[in-house]
A and B are shown apart, each in its own frame.
Chain A
Amino acid sequence: MAIRSVASRKTLAGLKETSSRLLGLRSIQTFTLPDLPYDYSALEPAISGEIMQIHHQKHHQAYVTNYNNALEQLDQAVNKGDASGVVKLQSAIKFNGGGHVNHSIFWKNLAPVKEGGGEPPKGALGYAIDTHFGSLEGLVKKMSAEGAALQGSGWVWLGLDKELKKLVVDTTANQDPLVTKGGSLVPLVGIDVWEHAYYLQYKNVRPEYLKNVWKVVNWKYASEVYKECK
């Protein structure tokens, strides 16, 4: 009796896996909210702890939850052969999956000052920035201007075009990931310019948020991604 109940959970899981495979169904991979690699208040005064907590625990969590729901529905539609159902789900997947992808990058794009946040990039990325934009100030000015000019909600990106082997600055609307602007684009730094990213602290003055966010941008992470993808 006891042996059976100890083995039962694993066995049941194994049976479920097997039966899923026999029926041609895969169990889908769902997602969880990644932890922040620093405390909510660690980016102050550039970004308030209040914003970081709501941004992470409410906004990003909602994207994760809704993405998982959309994936479950997609799995069912795919398995039923419901083509129009599959197509209908695409916008929910783009919104919420994009939201999860983008925010996961964003938390790594930021770091407390005492952990290198704001420290200019050195090495290969620093050199590439100077080559393409004249200087880090030149890049920051361009990204801040494009971020400020973005109508509605979206992101401003520094990306690497792997094919053309050059750095690009671009924006995406809503939660579109950078890859929607070009299949060979790799995001290095993304700045969230949705109002939820800054409103409680900076209100309508998005340019002030853009001026201050650079003080906590984690160029070490961007450099690692750049080196890996070159």
Chain B
Amino acid sequence: SIIKEMAASSAVTADYVLKPPPYSLDALEPFMSRQTLEFHWGKHHRAYVDNLKKQVLGSDLEGKTLDHIILNTYNNGDLLPAFNNAAQAWNHEFFWESMKPGGGGKPSGELLALLERDFTSYEKFYDEFNAAAATQFGAGWAWLAYADNKLKVMKTPNAVNPLVLGSFPLLTIDVWEHAYYLDFQNRRPDYIKTFMNNLVSWEAVSSRLHAAKAASSSSA
């Protein structure tokens, strides 16, 4: 199915490894503190990976790729036990790679053209992404995603991600409170703006978009 193809071609396969972010833990300062990375990557993300390993041991999921586990435990929203750890392991690796030191701001070239095509303007996309991230109640994620040849903004609760909803993830922001509480406390809107203005890696988004288009056209 196209969903499986899209998942297979996504850059994150994890294979139950706690991959470090593509920058040092203090590299995103002052926008995301070293302390946050130490806990968020070093404790939360690590726990999802470690707990997933323990959870699939001896089960028929053992040895399967992360993507396989995610797609097979989503179960149309009636989540099977391994979903949370598997999806969160995937989501967090994707999140670290969605950011870079000196990131943020407006993209250029093809990506900007597509954002302008599908959202009317970068500013409209910015507002829509902000609103999704701000209004995801409780724990969850906001996404820029690609499906049916269009870019769209999505928000998901807890560990759910666009892969299980038939869309190809391009960018994400973690809005679980642990993602921003040490740096911003309750001020989620400030965290979101800081992410958009100073952290987004549009290079990562572009390369994911190329992969998404390749996956879509190869199964056309």
Near B by CB (< 8 A), chain A positions 85-99 give 91, 95
Asked if A108 CB lies within 8 Å of chain B CBs, one says no
Quick check: A196 and B39 within 8 Å, CB to CB?
A: no
Digitize B133-148: 1 where CB-to-A-CB distance is under 8 Å, 0 elsewhere. Answer: 0000111100000000
Near B by CB (< 8 A), chain A positions 180-230 give 194-196, 199-200, 203-204
Tell me which residues across on chain A come within 8 A of B44, comparing CB atoms. Answer: 204
Quick check: B47 and A204 within 8 Å, CB to CB?
A: yes
Quick check: A195 and B39 within 8 Å, CB to CB?
A: no
Q: How many residues of A contact B (CB 8 A)?
A: 20
Quick check: A200 and B185 within 8 Å, CB to CB?
A: yes
Quick check: B186 and A58 within 8 Å, CB to CB?
A: yes
Asked if A151 CB lies within 8 Å of chain B CBs, one says yes
Quick check: B177 and A153 within 8 Å, CB to CB?
A: yes
Digitize B203-220: 1 where CB-to-A-CB distance is under 8 Å, 0 elsewhere. Answer: 000000000000000000
Quick check: A195 and B178 within 8 Å, CB to CB?
A: yes
A59 and B138 CA atoms in complex are apart in Å by 12
Quick check: A152 and B158 within 8 Å, CB to CB?
A: yes
28 pairs of residues in contact across A and B, judged by CB atoms under 8 Å: A54-B186, A91-B137, A95-B137, A151-B84, A151-B158, A151-B159, A152-B138, A152-B140, A152-B159, A152-B176, A153-B139, A153-B177, A174-B137, A194-B138, A194-B177, A195-B139, A195-B176, A195-B178, A196-B181, A199-B181, A199-B182, A200-B181, A200-B182, A203-B39, A204-B43, A204-B44, A204-B47, A204-B178
Near A by CB (< 8 A), chain B positions 166-186 give 176-178, 181-182, 185-186
Tell me which residues across on chain A come within 8 A of B137, comparing CB atoms. Answer: 91, 95, 174-175
A58 and B188 CA atoms in complex are apart in Å by 12
Most chain A beta-carbon contacts within 10 A, residue among B137, B140, B159 = B137
Asked if B30 CB lies within 8 Å of chain A CBs, one says no
Tell me which residues across on chain A come within 8 A of B138, comparing CB atoms. Answer: 152-154, 173-175, 194
Tell me which residues across on chain A come within 8 A of B177, comparing CB atoms. Answer: 153, 194-196, 199
CB distance from B20 to the nearest CB of A (A): 18
Quick check: B186 and A196 within 8 Å, CB to CB?
A: yes
Asked if B157 CB lies within 8 Å of chain A CBs, one says yes
Quick check: B43 and A203 within 8 Å, CB to CB?
A: yes
Tell me which residues across on chain A come within 8 A of B47, comparing CB atoms. Answer: 204
CB distance from A90 to the nearest CB of B (A): 13
A153 and B84 CA atoms in complex are apart in Å by 13
CB distance from B208 to the nearest CB of A (A): 26
Near B by CB (< 8 A), chain A positions 41-81 give 54, 58-59, 62
Tell me which residues across on chain A come within 8 A of B185, comparing CB atoms. Answer: 54, 58, 196, 200
CB distance from A116 to the nearest CB of B (A): 30
Tell me which residues across on chain B come within 8 A of A152, comparing CB atoms. Answer: 138-140, 157-159, 176
Residue of B nearest to A196 (CB): B177
A200 and B184 CA atoms in complex are apart in Å by 11
Tell me which residues across on chain A come within 8 A of B84, comparing CB atoms. Answer: 151
Quick check: B186 and A59 within 8 Å, CB to CB?
A: yes
Tell me which residues across on chain A come within 8 A of B43, comparing CB atoms. Answer: 203-204
Residue of A nearest to B186 (CB): A58
A58 and B84 CA atoms in complex are apart in Å by 29
8 nearest A-B pairs in the assembled complex, by CB-CB distance: A195-B177, A152-B139, A153-B138, A152-B158, A174-B138, A58-B186, A204-B43, A199-B181
CB distance from A66 to the nearest CB of B (A): 10
A194 and B188 CA atoms in complex are apart in Å by 14
Digitize B15-53: 1 where CB-to-A-CB distance is under 8 Å, 0 elsewhere. Answer: 000000000000000000000000100011001000000
Residue of A nearest to B79 (CB): A151
Tell me which residues across on chain B come within 8 A of A153, comparing CB atoms. Answer: 138-139, 177
Digitize A159-182: 1 where CB-to-B-CB distance is under 8 Å, 0 elsewhere. Answer: 000000000000001110000000
